[in-house]
Structure 1
Amino acid sequence: MVTKAAYGSWDSQITPDIFAKCNCKMICELQVVGKTVYWVEQNAVTGKRELYSKPVDGNDRTRWADGQSVQTAVHEYGGGALHVLPDGSVLFATIEGVFYQKSADSGVEQLAEANNRMFRFADFSATETHVFAVNESHQVDAKVPENRLISIDRKTRNQNVVASGADFYAYPRVSPDGKKLIWMQWNHPNMPWDESSIRMADLTGGESSNEVILKDGTGKGINYTEPSWHEHRLLLMHDATNWWNVYLSAAEPNAVEKNLNPIQREFSYPLWQLGFRNYAANKPYLAMNANGVLYLRTGFGTVEIPTPGYTVFQYLSLDPIGSELFAIASGPKRASSVISIDLSNKDFPLKVHRESRDSAEIDALEISEPEEIVFNSDGVIVSGYFYPPKNSAYSAPPGSLPPVLLLGHSGPTAPAQDSLDFKKQFFTSRGVAVFDVNYRGSTGFGTDFRRMLYKNCGIVDRNDVLNGAKALIEQGRVDADKVVISGSSAGGFLLLSCLISPDNIIKAAVSIYGVADLLALDEDTHKLEQYYNEMLIGKYPEEAAVYQERSPIYHIDKIETPIAFLHGKEDTVVPVKQSITMYEKISARGITTALQLYDGEGHGFRSGDVIKASTEATFYFLMKAVGIEPSIQSDLEIVNSKF
């Protein structure tokens, strides 16, 4: 029996409770060595990151590093916590340091200590005698740590600095013969997807010498990233053509390079977290992830690999002598999974080894699959993923249109992707459409599109979101009186920018650890993003007036839209006081608002209880604000309520 009820008031079996009723929250890192695949997955209840392995041809999972949370905190965003050695033993990092484990049933040896988190380690490579890693030292200045590359003697535990002087390092990779080390580095004011260089040095034991520049984008607007070895040659990516493509060259300065798949698609992502691998190579195969499409290059040419059901890929991995490509993959109806593809078979059979949520459980639910909507914004072609309401148990009154939840992804240099997100399904199953916008500045559309946000943050991204909503209204897809928005971090700044715009059409908003004060953020932020605002907004303090003009906290008198603020008390990226100040000032003006703070949570909620509470609070507030009686309740305390 179908129940007739207003959009947004529908009940649904997709509740926050099922978010944690899964195998794990997500699969985070992956590597295959020999006949065994290793991965890190985040526990859905505790948030801890656990290390597992399984035989490629078997089903039994084995837990490694029992009791440890395998994760890093370099650059605050972490990544690069796992490295598997050729013999199947593992190196891994926790916030306590660097560890080695010979086998899953052996003891764990500590190779380096964090000394109460004073030192951080990530992104490993190794020889038989030494471990090479990105190291962040907070010993002198906790706010502006020293970044460098170090070696750790596996026997004596002694550490040596092998490269220093640059502001940041990534991808230290030892050559197959153990004689060379390559890496990526960059300096302020650049972010890791801006101008960067690739360096190389000779290795003697754990020390380096004769450092040379292999590739240098400084002053040229070129980003060099993801260097690795292909036998004695260099594989890497750069965006000199406006698109991150994969190149091969000799490991020599000024060497001629070859674009291995010259197409207008992106083969990389912004390096917010260390250790990403968007291509994988061994002697016969090169697999490349081009913004959701996998390509295979062999001696016979380049072909597209079919991946039915999967559209997003990370951490591509090939064993040096294997033919099975492994990756973390997801799709519109598939949660993050460990998959493999047999590259030696012309049909490319795909095998699933581990799912964060069982596909059978997903298929039993009604999942709204997205349509990519393209629209014009200030003369620029922009797109987003539109998810229509979907719940066969309900129908809306004739002639009515659904509310739409606008989403602005974080970063802001990041992509909106079409992989399964139960938070979106939480809304669509209750009769709310979702529109996830790839505004100017997003990754996946070329370097020029990404850099359109520079100096224009808070303007072009705001315009794109508002114009996207107007396009949906003009197409008759959504109710113009029920346009709502939610966003986290940079997405929170984006929504606040929309609310102070004279062209604002948004009726309710929820900011989740969102940026409200660019001036304060510039003073309080961590090293990686210390000059990010200079790229996005302008130089500080020379252009302080621009910062103030675009900071929503200085334009609270323009905000008439009901808005709630959700924030973790331990956030080291966006200080919690920004949300508190916004709430207090908006509340004092009599605007409908709310504030919910979470103990023990940082920049990105991890606890299952907090994810449940924040999701329910978001939906409850937004629906109440546009006159819809929600099907769920929340303990969110709303002040100045007019509904």
Structure 2
Amino acid sequence: MSAGQIGAPLYVGTVGTEVWWVEPRPEEGGRMALMRRKADGDPHSPLPAPWNVRSRVIEYGGRPWTAAATGGGVLVVFADFADQRLYAYEPDVPGAEPRPLTPVSPVGGGLRWAEPEIDLGRGEVRCVLEEFTGEGPGDLRRLIAAVPLDGSAAGNRAAVRELSDDRHRFVSGPRISPDGSRAVWLAWDHPHMPWDAAELKIAEVGADGVMREVRTLTGGPGDPVAQAEWAADGGLLAACEGTGWWNLYRVDPETGETVALHAAAEEFAGVQRLGLRWFVPLPDGRIWVLHGLGAQRPALLDPATGELVDVPGERGEWLPHLALSGAEVVGVAAGPSTSYEIVAVDTVTLRTRVVGREHQAVVEAGFLPEPVTRVVVGPGGREIHARLHAPRNPGFAGPEGEPPPYVVWAHGGPTLRSPLALNLEIAYFTSRGIGVADVDYGGSPGYGRAYRERLREQWGVVDVEDCAAVARALVDEGVAAPGRLAIRGGSAGGFTAASSLVASDVYACAALLYPLLDLEGVATGQTHDFESHYLEFLIGPYTEVPGRYRDRSPGAHPDRISVPFLLMQGTDDVVCPPAQSERLLERISAHGVPHAHLSFPGEGHGFRRADTMVTCLEAELSLYGQVFGFDPSGVPALRLEA
């Protein structure tokens, strides 16, 4: 398999008729490459290795680049992962090299930047600034700032102008009105996450660009705002969740009054971080939207009539990375048999063309799984959304009458979901006789707030129960056999997988990738700031239910784990620190449980290097072979230690 096809291109943008984006390069040490496609050319990366265009704001990052047309070509501003400085680069100027725009701070995590927007008139680039004020993970402030394009701030923090105050812990999505007189953005504070309580702020923009007379238009707990945009006519649009579904509204900039544009029991947005866009206003007044239950597909919404017209095509999974280029909308889309591609859709003819990261059929179609969407009935009669990928290999078949082994995949987040897109990691296993059940357990977005809030104070319970319910349904239907089920997950999915070993006897083994194992550690400051209070929603306030944190921590119960597992961890992980994995391994050694541990120097939260990915997949396959009783050819044998 090609490690380069694991992962999707992100953060699409346009400069005139040019399309730009960033894409993962596992074969180049996991860097994110900035890509450029001129109207009459092929995609290429104007920045060679080791430039790594990736922001670390809130650790998960946000849109790390922007560009604008100049008299001499294009000016690009980007954040480089290595030092998190902003750099300016003019790729059309012969001999030009990236030049730093921001200083390096010696304090804590330094200065970090996301969602840049170039203002050539002022000679600045506006950004979301994350600034550490001390050595702790929570010693920081966030605000909207302006960095001069002339480089005068490269060694002088004082040259960075602060455009907003820092009264809120988090800010994202700043947008300037078409006439330049107003700005809107999203803001929220601990203990909330943005998808629970983000407010829509508005301010007057002075002649100096500073944002004054700040007030809240709408949003907050119970009615969070996921995205806001100015329309071409100066009107304000926002995606809000007051009805329990992310729908689109017109917002009065004076009163904050909202009017629904198309009320529906489906999602027109999702869980926001930084730089995500589910809708784009068009110059003619229509709105390009992504919508659906689970997977989101594009449509055109007429706000005057509420009419919604779906865009035809086989790519049923679009990511919230959208940009407008003339009469075309550019985005990132995939389908069950195609990987994520950069596509452009004509908003008049609705014709689609691929403009970048074109799908390469490195695996013959007969080896790819054909996903089947299922709804399984779980405890209490609740519905659980899942996707089944049966084994598929035209050259082999399992023994007649013998169900194949299955692996239940628990996605990360936990406020994420499993996309309906070609996943070559899944195909790696299904082509070798192992089925995969991708579970959107309670808490997953895409199915309304009630489904997402099933996880309120129930993490480690509902997710574990839902995954087990899907596994048992496979057995009841004869699709899988008892004793031939495994579970795997990364990050929050690793927590669910590890918790499943502690609380369930359904699985014969597990694969844990950079898992969260110690809830008490997270509650007492052993994680990054963005998610440092997330457990108050997922588990409950630590001061009120400290025992629940220990009870639900899989690392605290090694005596309840009785089946083999593989644990894979990066040494540079600041989200799920490797110390948590090390404590579990120390404790499990006293219980004689077969296990293996793979540690990867230089990897963070989520593996990005090709060699790491290959090693992990081969080790995981070897684990399943040893547990399920088959000999996987061509992969090194994984050594399990008791």
TM-score normalised over the length of structure 2: 0.91
1:124 aligned to 91, 113, 116, which one?
A: 116
AA aligned opposite 1:154: L
Query: Is contact 1:569–1:601 with CA below 8 Å preserved after alignment?
Result: yes
1:84 aligned to 67, 72, 75, which one?
A: 67
**CA drift at 1:553:** 1.9
Cα RMSD after superposing both structures: 1.9
Q: 1:341 to 1:453 in 2, by over 3 A?
A: same
Task: Indicate the larger mover: 139-148 or 568-577.
Answer: 139-148
CA distance in 1, matches of 2:601, 2:44: 33
Q: 1:133 to 1:41 in 2, by over 3 A?
A: same
2:603 aligned to 574, 595, 601, which one?
A: 601
Give the structure 1 partner of residue 474 of structure 2: 472
AA aligned opposite 2:337: K
1:311 aligned to 303, 314, 317, which one?
A: 317
Pairs within 5 Å for 1:413-424: 413-424=415-426
Give secondary structure in 2 for the equivalent of 1:315: coil
Q: Does 1:98 align with 2:86?
A: yes
**CA drift at 1:309:** 3.6
Q: 1:102 to 1:230 in 2, by over 3 A?
A: farther
What per-residue deviation string (whole Å, max 9, x for no partner) do you get for residues 28-78 of structure 1? Answer: 22012321111111113121111122134x232343344421110000011
Q: Does 1:208 align with 2:208?
A: no
Task: Indicate the larger mover: 62-71 or 334-343.
Answer: 62-71
Q: 1:179 to 1:85 in 2, by over 3 A?
A: farther
Q: Does 1:138 align with 2:150?
A: no
Give secondary structure in 2 for the equivalent of 1:64: coil
Q: Does 1:575 align with 2:577?
A: yes
Higher relative contact order, chain-length normalized (CA < 8 Å, sep 6+) = 1
AA aligned opposite 1:421: N
Q: Does 1:115 align with 2:88?
A: no
Query: Is contact 2:267–2:447 with CA below 8 Å preserved after alignment?
Result: yes
Q: Does 1:71 align with 2:61?
A: no
Q: 1:66 to 1:86 in 2, by over 3 A?
A: same
CA distance in 2, matches of 1:540, 1:52: 45
Give the structure 2 partner of residue 181 of structure 1: 183
2:11 aligned to 29, 33, 51, which one?
A: 29
**CA drift at 1:184:** 0.3
Give the structure 2 partner of residue 590 of structure 1: 592
Give the structure 1 partner of residue 507 of structure 2: 506
Give the structure 2 partner of residue 563 of structure 1: 565
**CA drift at 1:179:** 2.2
Give secondary structure in 1 for the equivalent of 2:9: strand
**CA drift at 1:627:** 2.1
**CA drift at 1:124:** 2.0
Pairs within 5 Å for 1:276-425: 276-284=276-284, 285-290=286-291, 291-298=295-302, 301-319=307-325, 322-345=326-349, 348-355=350-357, 357-358=359-360, 360-363=361-364, 366-378=367-379, 379-425=381-427
Give secondary structure in 2 for the equivalent of 1:394: coil
Task: Indicate the larger mover: 389-398 or 99-108.
Answer: 99-108
Give the structure 2 partner of residue 9 of structure 1: none
CA distance in 1, matches of 2:324, 2:240: 21
Give secondary structure in 2 for the equivalent of 1:163: coil
Instruction: Return structure 1 stretches of 4+ with deviation > 4 angstroms.
Output: 362-365
Q: Does 1:619 align with 2:634?
A: no
The percentage of aligned residue pairs carrying the same residue is: 27
CA distance in 1, matches of 2:219, 2:318: 30
Query: Is contact 2:205–2:211 with CA below 8 Å preserved after alignment?
Result: yes
What per-residue deviation string (whole Å, max 9, x for no partner) do you get for residues 587-635 of structure 1? Answer: 2211111111111111001111111111111111122122222224336
Q: How many residues end up aligned between the 2 structures?
A: 611
CA distance in 2, matches of 1:410, 1:323: 36
Give secondary structure in 2 for the equivalent of 1:194: helix
CA distance in 2, matches of 1:584, 1:40: 40
Give secondary structure in 1 for the equivalent of 2:530: coil
Q: 1:362 to 1:323 in 2, by over 3 A?
A: farther
AA aligned opposite 1:283: P
**CA drift at 1:475:** 1.2
Task: Indicate the larger mover: 83-92 or 46-55.
Answer: 83-92
- Name stretches of at least 5 consecutive residues in structure 2 with no aligned partner: 154-158
**CA drift at 1:382:** 0.8
**CA drift at 1:434:** 0.2
CA distance in 2, matches of 1:350, 1:376: 38
